[in-house]
Structure 1
Amino acid sequence: MTREGNENETNNRAAWNELHKAFLVELLVECNRPGTRLQNAWSRVAWNDMARRFKTKFIDSNFSVKQLKEQERTLKKQYKTVNRLRDQSGFGWDPTRKMVDAPEEVWAPIMQIDKEAKRWYNKHFPYYEDLHSLYSGCIANGSRRCGSNYFANPENQVEMNSPSPTIPTP
């Protein structure tokens, strides 16, 4: 592909509406199975199939695989923010309105310090349940991270030649 072709592809931003997003989420859920979903991403075959199905359903739109992937990343980021809010004390989820729910006194301090969270004040997120089925337990959140000091400490070193105490030797 020529350099000009690459520039055109990156400069053409997709015009996403709610129907497009809902269909993408539907396809992601449908492709959430072994063979099409790898460890934490979808296979190339799955992305190509999703792009083909988008072109079939939305004839007036021509979404590329790259644009679908970018929208999936955006939805994942939004899911992470909504999920983080939902997990905070004082917050809940309204399944009827499909939005994060909390009293004003709980929202007030959060909105002053967190721009991403402020965005979800009185705003629905209709894809939460489907995205939760895709991402819950699959997103790295740093809860098991270890800094370089951990590995530099001799107490944390595991001797590789010693047998495991939980596995019986023959």
Structure 2
Amino acid sequence: LPLLPRTSSPSPPRKIYMDASSKFNLVQAARGRKVVLGAKMDSRKITKRDSPNDLKSRAQWNLELERALVEILLEHNTPYHRGGHGWSGEVWNMMVRIFHARHSYVKFSKYQLQEKEKEIKREYKMLREARKQSGVGWDEMRCMIQADAHLWDELTILFGSRINKFKSKPFPLFNLLGDLYDVHIVEGHYNFTSTSEPSQIAGVAHTETETEEVNRRFSHLLVK
């Protein structure tokens, strides 16, 4: 009979023996990896959810909503609602509820409304100062600055490139914002703020005093 080739029998699997301390170290390493990965994922989720920039980017404003916000601010522009440093957090919460009640199709956070109020306030102050520059006019019908090209160059130097968008963009909230930021009613008396310099206010008071004195001296000549 022919001899069959000899085949080597497969060697049995080697058993790896591990002491208790090695097993413990492996388990702890695996657990630590899970904890680290979980913490990293959770922190990324929280950062994305709570980022103010993300909240701001999702806020889609238009003129109607901006005007609605300004009107609510005007309604609460009283000594009862507004202190020397602006509106308190509680008043802001109330104004946010009013805003959503009137415009239920949008869901803006308090942060988004506060950021919009800061933005339009900055733009108003910039345009107000720009109107004071020599040669610069204001179109009441279009609510836009009127200035020649060389004046726009000067305005850009004064206020930066952010003013250039108002070459072609109207600002119809200008007068409403003037009522909101320039004149505050305090206990029934008008308190003139940033629109007039202290010297101008003093000059007005001095003129009024002189007028009263003239009227007193020549009151017998006035037709009754």
5+ unaligned residues in a row in structure 2: which ranges?
1-42, 183-191, 199-224
Q: Which residue of 1 aligns with 2:55?
A: 12
Q: Residues 21-170 of structure 1 correspond to what in structure 2 (within 5 A)? A: 21-111=66-156, 114-136=160-182, 138=193
- Report the AA paired with residue 64 of structure 1: S
Alpha-carbon distance, 1:138 to partner: 5.0
* C-alpha distance in 2 between matches for 1:5 and 1:60: 26
Gaps of 5+ in 1: 144-170
Is the 1:93–1:99 Cα contact (8 Å) retained in structure 2? Answer: yes
Among all aligned residue pairs of Structure 1 and Structure 2, give the percentage whose two residues are the same amino acid.
Answer: 32
Distance 1:102 1:48 in 2: 41
Residues 21 and 91 (structure 1 numbering): CA distance in 2 closer, same or farther, change over 3 Å?
same
Give the whole-Å Cα distance in 2 for the aligned partners of 1:126 and 1:110.
20
2: distance between equivalents of 1:99 and 1:50? 29
Q: Aligned residue pairs: how many?
A: 139
Give the secondary structure class of the aligned counterpart of 1:96: coil
Quote the offset at 1:132 in angstroms: 1.4
Q: Which amino acid aligns with 1:117?
A: I
Q: Are the aligned partners of 1:40 and 1:138 in contact in 2 as well (CA < 8 Å)?
A: no
Distance 1:22 1:61 in 2: 15
* Length-normalised TM-score, structure 2: 0.55
SS in 1 for 2:78: coil
1:85-142 Cα offsets, whole Å, 9 max, x none, are 1111111222111111223342244346730221211321011111112222656xxx
CA RMSD of aligned residues (A): 2.6
Flag the structure with more relative contact order, 1 or 2, with Cα contacts below 8 A and sequence separation at least 6.
1
How far, CA to CA, are the matches of 2:106 and 2:144 in structure 1? 29
Q: What SS class does the counterpart of residue 32 from structure 1 fall into?
A: coil
- What is the TM-score when the length of structure 1 is the normalising length? 0.70
For the Cα contact (< 8 Å) 2:72–2:99, is it kept in 1?
Answer: no
CA drift of 1:26 comes to 0.7
**Residue 36 of structure 1 contacts residue 42 of structure 1 at CA under 8 Å; is this kept in 2?**
yes
Query: Secondary structure of the equivalent of 2:83?
Result: coil
